[in-house]
Structures are given as C-alpha cells and as structure tokens.
Structure 1
Amino acid sequence: MLTWYPANLRNADIDLEVPRSGDPAADWAGFVTAVSDLLADPARAEAVVTAGPDEGQTVARATSGFLIPDIFLHTWDLARSQGNDAHLNADYAARNLAGLESLGDGLQATGQFGPPHPVAEDAPVVDRLMAHIGRDPQFRGGATVDPA
C-alpha cells in the first residue's frame, strides 16, 4: 500500500510524500497521516485519475474504492496470521462482497486473488467475502518462532 497507492496517485498528478523511517509502525502512521491530509484537501481529493485502473475517477473515489477495501481485507490476513479474529464490520464486508461478486470471473483473472474457497451459503458475510477472494475462512495462523 505504501508503494502502489502513491504510484497510482501519480496518474492524477499527485506526488504523495510518504515518510520512510524503516520502522513499520512509524511508516504506517506516516502513510495514514499523508492519506488523511490528501483527502482533506478538496483540490487533491477531487483530482481526476487520467490513467491506470482508476482512470476517470476522482482520487477520493479511487481511495474509497480500492485503498480502503485493501486495508480492510488485509486486516483479516494480518489478524488470522497471528491466530486472532479480525472482528470486521459485517455491513462493510457485505458491500465489498457484492462489489467483488459483480466482477464475475474478472476478479481472479487479475492474478491478485485466488480461486474462491468453498464456504456454506449461510456462513457469516466476512467468511463469504474472504472465501470469495481465495482465503480459507477457517485459517488460523499463529505459528510460533523458535527464538534460537
């Protein structure tokens, strides 16, 4: 996110300065601040993307359509990789699932998502969303690292 999002913004003639310190937590905090500042500036938020997958959209629309869902989905990945539940908002998950389902086979054709994982039709919406993008909703990571 810290690299692809600023690269996409160049298609709207915006150079997003994201400070890099080498400390992942500090770099993430700097990214959040930079994006917040960007969206708080009406001229930059309403700039139109002129190329790439967001072509024709405003920066604000592209951010809400791609960056925010990406963070949402990877929140699940990070939580589960540590053996935790993500406790994601079901309404937001349902909106994302509907949007991704509307893409049909095109979603997997991008190469960015695996084939849908089987899940019951009555499974919780977060599980159905994650299964749709190729995650196993039952996955629980949390492998320990040998300190030696």
Structure 2
Amino acid sequence: MARERAVPVVRALPDEALAAPTPCAEYDVKTLVNHLFQVVVQFQRLAAKEASDFTETPDRVGAGADWRERLVEEIDKLVAAWSVPGAEDGVTGAMSMPARLVGSMALLDLTVHVWDLARATGREYRLGEAAAPVVEQLAGAVEELAPTARRMGVFGDPVPVAEGAPGFERLLARTGRDPHWKG
C-alpha cells in the first residue's frame, strides 16, 4: 500500500519544487527526498539484520537526473527486504529494537514523508478505509516511539485535531504534523 501511494508522488516531483518548504520545517523538498532515500536504504539493511548508518545523508538528488527512478528502485528493494520471511523476527539495529517495530518505522517513514512531499508539491495523498488497519498499526508504533522520538527531535509535539478526525489525520498530528498544512 505505501509503495503504491509513494511511487506516483515521487515520479511527479518537479525539479522546480526542490527548494519548496515541506511540513517538516527543517527540510525543503530536496533535503526531504535525500532524507527519504537515506532511510529507505538504511531500513533495507535493518530488514536483513545488517548494520545501518543514519548519520550522513548523501545528495542523491544531485547525483543525476534519474533520481526519481533510483528512489523508486530503492523503495521496491525496501518492500522486498521486509517481505523476506524472518525480517520481522528478533531484533535489529544498533539499538537492538524489535524487528517488527523497526519495520513499522520503515513503513511510517515511507508513508509520512511521502505525504510531506505530496503536500509540499500540491498533490493529494489520501488513505481510504482499506488502509485503516495499517494506520492503526502505525499509530501504535508512534505511541511506542513518541517519547524517545520527541526527545531526539524526530517527532514534534502533537498537533490538535478535531474530535472524530480520520485516523490518518490523527496519526500525522501525533508525529507533530499539521494534517492541513499548506506550503
């Protein structure tokens, strides 16, 4: 589901929008695409129980005009890596986190950052009712990760949403995003 939503957004990102702001205040579109590239590649490693390195973010956008298709290829590799039997078993990463939670983090990053990119470039990104179980799983991961993620600056403070807001809006708000953000 996240891949199917991500690919059209990534392929439609215009070069002229690379300097545009995003719902992530510290990232413009180009910086966020490079960040997304980095997390997608590193979460592939974590699925295989390999060492990862999130400390440096290479400029993959600046490495060639084919960056959109290279990112799509990496997203496909991410999906394949987490689809391998046993990927969600045991622990992974230097923090020795449960692999299933790390897989949820990969899905959360892909989902939320692609929403960020869609919003930043004026595209719609909606999740229908069929996505409700995934949104619920991600909401559980956000609740588990939130205290540490907020301390580390990964999540902002929760944003208030209307009572009865859709689950995806509540999920975005829990990560510190305004679900109605406009650039």
Q: TM-score, normalization: structure 1?
A: 0.67
Corresponding residue for 2:3? none
Q: Deviation string for 1:67-111 (max 9, x for gaps)?
A: 112101112111211223311233322321233124453331121
Residues matched between the structures, number = 133
- Alignment check: 8 A CA contact 2:40 2:74 kept: no
Q: Deviation string for 1:31-89 (max 9, x for gaps)?
A: 1343344346558x478655423x2544xx36522211210111211121122331123
- Alignment check: 8 A CA contact 1:12 1:48 kept: no
Report whether the alignment pairs 1:74 with 2:117: no
Cα distance in 2 between the residues matched to 1:49 and 1:39: 13
Runs of 5+ unmatched residues, structure 1? 142-148
Q: Return the structure number with greater relative CO, CA threshold 8 A, min gap 6.
A: 2
- Alignment check: 8 A CA contact 2:51 2:93 kept: no
Which protein has the larger Cα radius of gyration, Structure 1 or Structure 2? Answer: 1
In structure 2, the CA distance between the partners of 1:41 and 1:123, relative to structure 1 (3 Å rule), is closer
Corresponding residue for 2:123? 84
The sequence identity of aligned pairs, in percent, is: 29
How well do the aligned residues superpose, as a CA RMSD in angstroms? 3.2
User: Pairwise mapping of residues 127-138 of structure 1 onto structure 2 (< 5 A)?
Assistant: 127-138=169-180
- Alignment check: 8 A CA contact 1:82 1:140 kept: no
User: Pairwise mapping of residues 12-23 of structure 1 onto structure 2 (< 5 A)?
Assistant: 12-13=49-50, 22=64, 23=66
Report whether the alignment pairs 1:2 with 2:44: no
The structure with the largest helix share of the pair is 2
